[in-house]
Structure 1
Amino acid sequence: MDTRLFEAAQRGNIDYLQRLLTENPLILNITLLSAENPLNIAADMGHVDFVKEIIKLKPVFAKEVNQEGFSPTHIAAANGHVEIVKELMKVDIKLCRLEGRQKMTPLHYAAIKGRAEVISAMLSDCPDCIEDETDRKENALHLAVKNNRFEAIKILGDWIKDMNKEYLLNMKDEQGNTVLHLASWKKQREVLEMLLGSGTVSSGSLEVNAINHSGLTALDMVLIFPSEAGDREIVEILRSAGATRARDIIQSTISNNQTSTDNTSTPERCLSNGNNLIEYFKFKKGRDSPSEARSTLLVIAVLVATATFQVGVNPPGGVWQDTNIPDHTNSTSSSNAHFGGQSIMATTNKVGFMLFVFFNSVGFSMSLYMIYVLTSEFPLQFELQICLLAMYGTYGTALPCIAPSSLNLPVLLTTTILSSTTSALAQVARPLTTMLKKFFKDFTHRVV
């Protein structure tokens, strides 16, 4: 675009524009080859009169979308220039539904920015634009709730009620979330009161127990992602509207299915119910809190470390309480020779004892490694690492002491070298395991 034309649009100087057109009547045609047009600049700066002049000269500019996916209407709506939006919609009433990048319309940007007057103007001239969705299946109300734009939410909610389009409240985005899910997740008590408590929405038109793709209801969103304040009031609002947790709905469905059929339950039905419960309790990224998952893993790692340490220093079968060194005249077999404090299993079943030492040491070292990783950003990190090293040293010292002299070296190597490299070996083996799982899965599908 000619820099002089850019300057005229930026200042909103109509006289300067007329002089440029006198000098070069084709100056606006040249801009068709440019990435921008003067109408975008004027719409961004809010120059209403300049916008009117450009529309009169080149109305086609109003329908152009630039490389960033913005038309003049997108830009004016996002900036809240309601008069410019009205002028542009005089060119074509459907400009408020013009799709840009990711199928975003001007109404979507107005909702994101909370431009209440722009939203009212667009809905007055083109009510159907409220149904438009982005490529993520988000409508304007989804976007307003996600961005905490309460005034925009109120206007959109009132229009939805007045136009009898309350089904839009139950529309789901690509994650299966309704506006009720989003408002609960964002802890927007005012929005929930507007939707459920003040009569804005007709009774029974809102699905308060809709389940998203993560298997959660709106009530689950509050309880699984707690905050410091306001949760109790939100839970009361939802429960008073009949909201329940997804697990209660599943259990109710299972109970209803069982009572509506014969008392004899088939294996197929039990398997189906079991799979539902397994899927529900699996960890799902985006639904379950990472901090809760870390806490759970830390508890498991501590339990494994405690169990493996305890069974390591107190091996199966216990230890000999006496010392027995048979001589040549003693009829006792030399294989029963032992010293007090040595493992009974180590002297009677050396192979079994070594397998026990190996697997127990792997579990112990991996649990300590998990504790180290999960507490890596904790305070007193140096002191915590000393504790872990001391525990590992104690374990590595205790096991060779309870083993016979013939097994001292194998036990020492197992507890120090092999088990200490388990974490590194696991990182190498993880992608190999994933590849094998994929191979067997593909192979199974082909066979079936």
Structure 2
Amino acid sequence: MDTRLFEAARTGNIDYLQQLLAENPFILNNTQLSAENPLNIAAAMGHVDFVKEIIRLKPVFAIEVNQEGFSPMHIAADNGQVEIAKELMEVDIKLCRLEGRQKMTPFHHAAIRGRAEVISLMLSGCPDCIEDETERRETALHLAVRNNRFEAIKMLVDWIREMNKEYLLNMKDEQGNTVLHLASWKKQRRVIEIFLGSGSVSTGSLEVNAINHTGITALDVILLFPSEAGDREIVEILRSAGAMRARDSVPSTVTNSQTSTDNPSTPERCWSNRDNLVEYFKFKKDRDSPSEARGTLLVIAVLVATATFQVGVGPPGGVWQDTSIPDQKNITSNNTAHFAGQSIMATTNTVGFMLFVFFNSVGFSMSLYMLYVLTSKFPLQFELQICLLAMYCTYGTALSCIVPSNLYLFVQLTTTILSSTMSALARSVRPLTRMLRKSFKDFTHRVV
């Protein structure tokens, strides 16, 4: 974009715009190749008159979405520019449904920021925009609840009930959460009161016992994660509206269209072993991001590497502090020969020490392998690999120095050959374990 045109849009100077057009009538056409257009900038700065002039000269700018996924209507909705939004809707009433990144519409942005006036304007002009869903299947009401926008929530719920569109209150996001799930999670008492009204829920309106993909209801959310004194009041409000825990609800309350065979997280399966929340906190690909899983695995790998290295260089029982070589002239209660610095366990319990070295070396080598895999393509990758190799060599050297000569070969084989092949062995065993697990599940299902 011409810097002069950018300055005119930033300041809202219409006279300067006309001067630029007089010098170059095609100056607005040249902006089509740029990342921004003057309408976006003017909308962001709130220059209503300049927006009107650009719309008159180049209305196609109103439907352009920039590289960040924002159109002029997105920007106006996000900033709460009601007059600008009104001018843009005169170009095309459906601009409030224009999708940007992750299928986010201007109406979604207005809900996220709680722009009540913009929401009212868009609903009056294009009522269908309230049904639009993001890439994560979130409606504007989901987004307003997630971001604690009370006024926007109240306006949306009032409009939904006035238009007899209460089915929108039961729409679920990609995790199966209704807005009541989110309000319970956020501990939003006033919002829950708005959803439930007088406390009695009529047939076909808000489903207080809807179950998400994790297998819990809105009441479960508040009971499983108590944190504040006000939780008791929220529980009472939910119970007065007929809310129940998933394990107490009947199958007919499940509104998810997927059957138990299609969805492994159905309530029947979840609640069979959820007394200690194990099922709830299991990793789920459709819920947990890969970056969070990788971070968790890194922490676990570091902890395992630290623990196994520590116990490897300092084995149970410690090391001998003196050297003792028994002979006929030196009869002691412990007639086993040993040297200072050698492992006490290695000389007194050879079999136990060999098992200890074996399993500890397996854990240590696998943790280093996990660190190598999880940090691949990290910055300073070569330096990190040197650190891991140095730790591996230090571990093997330390073990070799504290064992008697009769166990030296065993330790060398365990810390070198076995440890280096564990990663390949794990990859070959993994398919076998999957097959056995699947066979076991099929067998238990047939028995049940």
User: What range describes the TM-score normalised by the shorter chain of this pair?
Assistant: 0.5 to 0.7
Corresponding residue for 1:393? 317
Instruction: Say if 1:133 and 1:253 are closer, same or farther in 2 by CA, change over 3 A.
Output: closer
Matched, 1:219 2:219: yes
Alignment partner of 1:134: what SS? Answer: coil
Letter in 2 for 1:436: V
Contact preservation (8 Å) 1:5, 1:38: yes
Matched, 1:155 2:155: yes
Which residue, 272, 281, 284 being the options, matches 2:280?
Answer: 284
Instruction: Say if 1:134 and 1:391 are closer, same or farther in 2 by CA, change over 3 A.
Output: same
1:48-67 equivalence runs, <5 A: 48-67=48-67
For 2:163 and 2:199, locate their aligned partners in 1 and report how far apart those are by CA, in whole Å: 15
For 2:65 and 2:268, locate their aligned partners in 1 and report how far apart those are by CA, in whole Å: 51
Alignment partner of 2:317: what SS? Answer: helix
Contact preservation (8 Å) 1:70, 1:100: yes
Structure 2 runs not aligned, ≥5 long:
253-266, 289-299, 321-333, 337-345, 370-421, 443-448
Instruction: Say if 1:286 and 1:139 are closer, same or farther in 2 by CA, change over 3 A.
Output: farther
Matched, 1:114 2:110: no
Letter in 2 for 1:228: E
For 2:149 and 2:270, locate their aligned partners in 1 and report how far apart those are by CA, in whole Å: 40
Instruction: Say if 1:164 and 1:434 are closer, same or farther in 2 by CA, change over 3 A.
Output: farther
Shift of 1:407: 9.1
Contact preservation (8 Å) 1:194, 1:200: no
RMSD over equivalenced CA pairs, Å: 4.0
Instruction: Say if 1:203 and 1:417 are closer, same or farther in 2 by CA, change over 3 A.
Output: same
Q: Which moved more, 1:107-116 or 1:226-235?
A: 226-235
1:92-131 equivalence runs, <5 A: 92-131=92-131
Corresponding residue for 1:176? 176
Contact preservation (8 Å) 1:111, 1:143: yes
Structure 1 runs not aligned, ≥5 long:
255-271, 291-369, 377-384, 397-402
Instruction: Say if 1:253 and 1:67 are closer, same or farther in 2 by CA, change over 3 A.
Output: closer
Letter in 1 for 2:157: G
For 1:108 and 1:213, locate their aligned partners in 2 and report how far apart those are by CA, in whole Å: 24
Contact preservation (8 Å) 1:80, 1:117: yes
Any idea what the Cα deviations from partners look like across 1:72-94, whole Å, max 9, x if unmatched? 00000000001100000000000
Which of structures 1 and 2 has the bigger CA Rg?
A: 1
For 1:286 and 1:188, locate their aligned partners in 2 and report how far apart those are by CA, in whole Å: 26
Which residue, 346, 355, 364 being the options, matches 1:424?
Answer: 364
Alignment partner of 1:22: what SS? Answer: helix
Matched, 1:437 2:430: yes
TM-score, with structure 1 as normaliser: 0.65
For 1:220 and 1:431, locate their aligned partners in 2 and report how far apart those are by CA, in whole Å: 43
Corresponding residue for 2:263? none
- Identity percentage of aligned residues: 64
Contact preservation (8 Å) 2:145, 2:179: yes
Shift of 1:68: 0.9
Instruction: Say if 1:138 and 1:57 are closer, same or farther in 2 by CA, change over 3 A.
Output: same
For 2:233 and 2:335, locate their aligned partners in 1 and report how far apart those are by CA, in whole Å: 66
For 1:199 and 1:275, locate their aligned partners in 2 and report how far apart those are by CA, in whole Å: 29
Contact preservation (8 Å) 1:157, 1:200: no
The alignment of Structure 1 onto Structure 2 pairs a total of residues equal to: 332
Shift of 1:414: 3.7
Alignment partner of 1:393: what SS? Answer: coil
Shift of 1:229: 3.2
For 1:444 and 1:67, locate their aligned partners in 2 and report how far apart those are by CA, in whole Å: 47
Which residue, 397, 402, 410 being the options, matches 2:350?
Answer: 410
For 2:424 and 2:191, locate their aligned partners in 1 and report how far apart those are by CA, in whole Å: 46
Corresponding residue for 1:293? none
Instruction: Say if 1:431 and 1:65 are closer, same or farther in 2 by CA, change over 3 A.
Output: farther
Shift of 1:245: 1.1
